[in-house]
Amino acid sequence: MNLLFAVMIGVLYGAGFYLILRRSFVKVLIGLILLAHGANLLILTVGRLTKGNPVFVNSGTDATAFADPLPQALILTAIVIGFGIQAFALVLFKRAYKTAKTDDLDEMRNTDLSS
């Protein structure tokens, strides 16, 4: 299963990096989201994968069999914060598009409006 996760993480990172290298702002944004997914999976994998044994302490299994709760707590935070960033970036993009009339990042290199 590590192999499976490695493949997924590799694909997500590769796709995310490719997209943030684009000139279109929307693509960069999608790239960022893919990268966030990749990072979340990476944290989960680094904390070791445990199948079907969530950490509810009354379920009777001994401590070593549980999944590690710490990476999960970190990922939870990451998901929520990631959403905040996405929402803000998306609206910022909309705003910038309205003002600069372009989706092309190369056109937004200076602070002056091209009228």
Partner 1 sequence: MLFFVLLGFITAVLVPLIKKISDNFLSWIIPIIPASIFFYFASFYYQIADGEVIKVSYSWIPSLGINFDFYIDGLSLVFAMIISLVGTVVYLYAGSYLKGDTRLSKFYIYISIFMSSMIGVVTSDNLMTLFIFWELTSISSYLLIGFNHEKESSRYSALQALLVTGLGGLALLAGFILLYITTGTWDISEINKMPAEVIGSSYFFLIVIFILLGTFTKSAQFPFHFWLPNAMEAPTPVSAYLHSATMVKAGIYLMARLNPAFGNSILWNDLLLVFGTATMLFAAVLSFKQTDLKKLLAYSTLSVLGTLTMLIGIGSDLAIKAFIIYLIAHSLYKGTLFLVAGIIDHETGTRNIEKLSGLRKLMPITMIIAVAASLSKMGIIPLVGFVGKETVYASVLELPIFGNYLIVITILANMFVVYITAMVGFRPFFGKLKSTPKNPHEAPFRMWSGPMFLALSGLVLGIFSSLFLNKLINSSELGIISERLNIPVKLWHGFNLELLLSTITVLLGLFLYFKREYFLKFVASFSSVKFVQPSYYYQFIFDGTLSLAKYITSKIQNGYLRFYILVILLTTFSLIAYTLHTFYSFNEINIGGSVSVYEVILAFILIISTLLAVSAKSRLAAIVGLGGVGYVIALFFLIYSAPDLAMTQFSIETLTVILFVLVIYKLPKYLSFSSTTRRIRDIIVASFAGLTMFFLVLVISGTSLTSELKEYFIAESYPSGKGLNVVNVILVDFRALDTLGEITVLAVAAIGVYSLLKLRKKDN
List binders of partner 1 among 16-55 (CB under 8 A). Answer: 17-24, 26-28, 30, 33-34, 37-38, 40-42, 44-55
Q: Which of residues 96-115 bind partner 1 (CB under 8 A)?
A: 97, 103-106, 109-110
**Residue from the set 60, 88, 114, 115 that interacts with partner 1 by CB under 8 A:** 88
Under rule CB under 8 A, residue 15 binds partner 1: yes
Distance, in Å, from the CA atom of 59 to the CA atom of 11, rounded to the nearest integer, reads 36
C-alpha distances in angstroms, 69 versus 29, 52, 54, 63?
A: 30, 13, 8, 11
Q: How many residues bind partner 1 (CB under 8 A)?
A: 83
3-state class of 24 per DSSP?
A: strand
Using CB under 8 A, pick the residue from 91, 100, 112, 114 that binds partner 1: 91
User: Beta partners for 104?
Assistant: 24
